Structure 1
Amino acid sequence: MEARHLHQFHLPDALNATTPPERRGVRRDHVQMMVLDRATGQTQHETFFQLDRFLKPGDLLILNASRTVPAVLKATRLAGAEHVEVRLAHRLDESVWQALVVAQGVCIGERLRFSPTLEAEVVAQQTGRPFVTLQFSREGAALYDEIYQLGEPVRYEYIHTDWGLDYYQTVYASVPGSVEMPSAGRAFSWELLFKLQRKGVRLAYMQLHTGLSYLLDDRWHQDPRENIEQYMIPQETVEAVEQCKAAGGRVIAVGTTVVRSLETAVDTDGILRAQSGWTNLYIHDRYPLRVVDGLITGFHEPEASHLDLLSAFVKPELLYAAYQEAIDRQYLWHEFGDMNLIL
């Protein structure tokens, strides 16, 4: 089966997780987990809290420490006093963001007021894309303070309740920057992380600040290669990977963001390097993974480019069969849903 056919499956609406597990009476670390064997396609079914059963001493989990920002803001156009919604898309520097302004006729030089103490000017537009570049009147921590006071988290079309920002955070997130939650790590609790460490599983961290993928309008289709996101791999994580590989352990990425970052940071000699930058790496079924041996992820909707990345781990026909089994077993999809361990 070609990877593109993997995208073509029917996901019943009832399997869209619209409510955080904690509000369904389930601990975040007790969602369901499907364990998928990369080589054979065989599956096992457990709760996520039993993750330690499938990992070995010496394995290394790499987690994305990026923290979700409340990226949906309300503003007033100073020319005309129209109220508009602004969705932050990518942070470019201490005071500059790319953003989606949900309004017609936004032009360079226009000013937006978010609060009595925060304004922004449109300083650039992108031809053929919906984003503009905003220069804010504040920068650094002061700008983040305003954003956290004023903003709401990005919520997708299947979410019908205004869940607060805390529901869109992982427990270990520490560096603000993601406009959509790096959701593969949501099911971890500190209790589970300590449990894994007691078994001898090591933890390491990196950052990839997710950009805006939910553009509200179907006419804006974002190719995976257009999704350019900022990442940082610290030296201690590189050293942890080297030690893990030398001892025969497995490097397991928590989320597709971690896979893309690690594989981007491999040089032409196949060596992982500590670095920071921007990545638009598109991973597919023919991409040779050079760092990552396993993946913890959620379940991805039909047509999602994440499915191409998953097919670099598992043959598309095996992945398709596993997804059909997950549907039959009533697994839940999306950021508040169930988990998939691929080893």
Structure 2
Amino acid sequence: MMVAARSFQVPKYLDASTPAEYRGISRDHVRLMTLDSVTGKHFHHYFYQLDSSLREGDLLVLNNSRTLPPVLKGKRGKQAIEIRLSRKLTDQEWEALIVEDVCTVGEKIDLPGELTATITGKGNEAPLVILSFSKSGLDLYDAIYRYGEPVYYEYIKTPWPLEMYQTVYASVPGSVEMPSAGRAFSWKLLNKLKRKGVKIAYLQLHAGLSYYENDRWPNPSNHPEAFRIPEETAEWVNKTKKNKGRVIAVGTTVVRALETAVNHGGHVEAQEGITCLYIQKGYPLKAVDGLLTGFHEPEASHLDLLTAFIDEKLLMKAYEEAISAEYLWHEFGDMNLILPMEEKR
């Protein structure tokens, strides 16, 4: 099932093409719109004021996957080729997008550092292919970090360094696009939240490509991504639910991982694997109560997931308000918190 098109349009002047640090502010000084998921009532703040919307006993779950530089530029004969890695399959194989070109199985691409990639098959969905590299394990990661670049979509006008595509707490390499919902956090803010009694837990979900160029997006009902939920995180989620606290996912990646790990008894289990979970309107959320996320394009399947938290009419009304109030979109943009504001009884 593909995402339904929404009627709103984001003006190009609201595309955040520059990281906050290069706009003269710190990460946690981007703007924040908080939505009551029940009433749709919205509040305007700055991200460093996040603590005003949270309370003692809440749990924030963050994705500490670290972003790789997945764009590799090589040659097929004399022809320039751009590869965008999407998902690791084995120590030597990746699913990838070959940009603006058609390649066939068996073709070899020459890359910097005496690295080659051979197309061995079709990927999970078109237009992805499977690449087998001449190096594996740490040697392959070393080549990717030495010669790769971040993904720069059309609204990015400057080739920002890889560090701009990391959250401050990122520690486990694997994502090809930044889990951007957590980008606005600073250690100062995280410590401020801890002092208030908000618990912090981590998991990993390695984000794949979110866009395949030429108006092509991943099929949200068949988009596998690797995840890992540690024992401690599962315990904190279950304890928070038992104590009637709110579990707040920092990013749609965290929602997918936690909801995938819910067992028949309604508890989150520590586990690792691959998730293809597609969350949309009417999905019965069992692990997560609230969501901290960015603002999404009308074509993005992330909006389907948001409608599991809040009625779509209320969400679209809030998005219209965000456009009117000139909130910024994309990974360097402003933030949106969706959660029930009333105390649980």
Q: Secondary structure at the match of 1:144?
A: helix
The equivalent position to 1:226 in structure 2, one of 222, 225, 244, is 222
Aligned-partner residue type, residue 283 of structure 1: I
Which residue of structure 2 aligns with residue 112 of structure 1?
109
Q: Secondary structure at the match of 1:98?
A: strand
Which residue of structure 2 aligns with residue 211 of structure 1?
208
State the Cα distance separating 1:335 from its structure 2 match. 0.6
Cα displacement string for residues 136-173 of structure 1 (whole angstroms, at most 9, x for unaligned residues): 12222221111011011011111111111111110101
Which residue of structure 1 aligns with residue 296 of structure 2?
300
Distance 1:46 1:116, change over 3 A: closer
Aligned-partner residue type, residue 255 of structure 2: V
Q: How does 1:146-161 map to 2 (within 5 A)?
A: 146-161=143-158
Which residue of structure 2 aligns with residue 73 of structure 1?
72
State the Cα distance separating 1:105 from its structure 2 match. 4.3
The equivalent position to 2:280 in structure 1, one of 284, 287, 298, is 284
Q: Secondary structure at the match of 2:116?
A: strand
Which residue of structure 2 aligns with residue 194 of structure 1?
191
Mapped contact 2:58–2:198 kept (Cα < 8 A): yes
Mapped contact 2:113–2:143 kept (Cα < 8 A): no
Q: Give ranges in structure 2 of 5+ residues lacking alignment.
A: 340-345
Mapped contact 2:95–2:123 kept (Cα < 8 A): no
Mapped contact 1:107–1:125 kept (Cα < 8 A): no
Aligned-partner residue type, residue 201 of structure 2: A
Which residue of structure 1 aligns with residue 310 of structure 2?
314
The equivalent position to 2:320 in structure 1, one of 319, 324, 332, is 324
Aligned-partner residue type, residue 185 of structure 2: F
Aligned-pair identity (%): 57
In structure 1, C-alpha distance between the alignment counterparts of 2:67 and 2:309, rounded to whole Å: 27
In structure 1, C-alpha distance between the alignment counterparts of 2:25 and 2:34, rounded to whole Å: 20
Cα displacement string for residues 62-117 of structure 1 (whole angstroms, at most 9, x for unaligned residues): 0001111101101122xx33221111011112111011123544222222221243
Give me the CA root mean square deviation: 1.6
Cα displacement string for residues 173-213 of structure 1 (whole angstroms, at most 9, x for unaligned residues): 11111111110000001111111111111111111111112
In structure 2, C-alpha distance between the alignment counterparts of 1:145 and 1:336, rounded to whole Å: 27
User: Are residue 255 (structure 1) and residue 251 (structure 2) matched?
Assistant: yes
Mapped contact 1:208–1:258 kept (Cα < 8 A): yes
Cα displacement string for residues 43-64 of structure 1 (whole angstroms, at most 9, x for unaligned residues): 1111100111111111110000
Which residue of structure 1 aligns with residue 131 of structure 2?
134
Cα displacement string for residues 296-317 of structure 1 (whole angstroms, at most 9, x for unaligned residues): 0001111211111111111111
State the Cα distance separating 1:221 from its structure 2 match. 4.2
TM-score after normalising by structure 2: 0.94
Cα displacement string for residues 201-259 of structure 1 (whole angstroms, at most 9, x for unaligned residues): 111111111111221223x4432112211111111110111121222211000000000
Moved over 3 A (4+): none
State the Cα distance separating 1:127 from its structure 2 match. 8.5
In structure 2, C-alpha distance between the alignment counterparts of 1:318 and 1:116, rounded to whole Å: 52
In structure 2, C-alpha distance between the alignment counterparts of 1:179 and 1:11, rounded to whole Å: 24
Distance 1:108 1:203, change over 3 A: same
In structure 2, C-alpha distance between the alignment counterparts of 1:98 and 1:271, rounded to whole Å: 32
Q: Secondary structure at the match of 2:149?
A: coil
TM-score after normalising by structure 1: 0.94
Cα displacement string for residues 104-136 of structure 1 (whole angstroms, at most 9, x for unaligned residues): 442222222212432222221248611111111
Q: Give ranges in structure 1 of 5+ residues lacking alignment.
A: none
Mapped contact 1:156–1:214 kept (Cα < 8 A): no
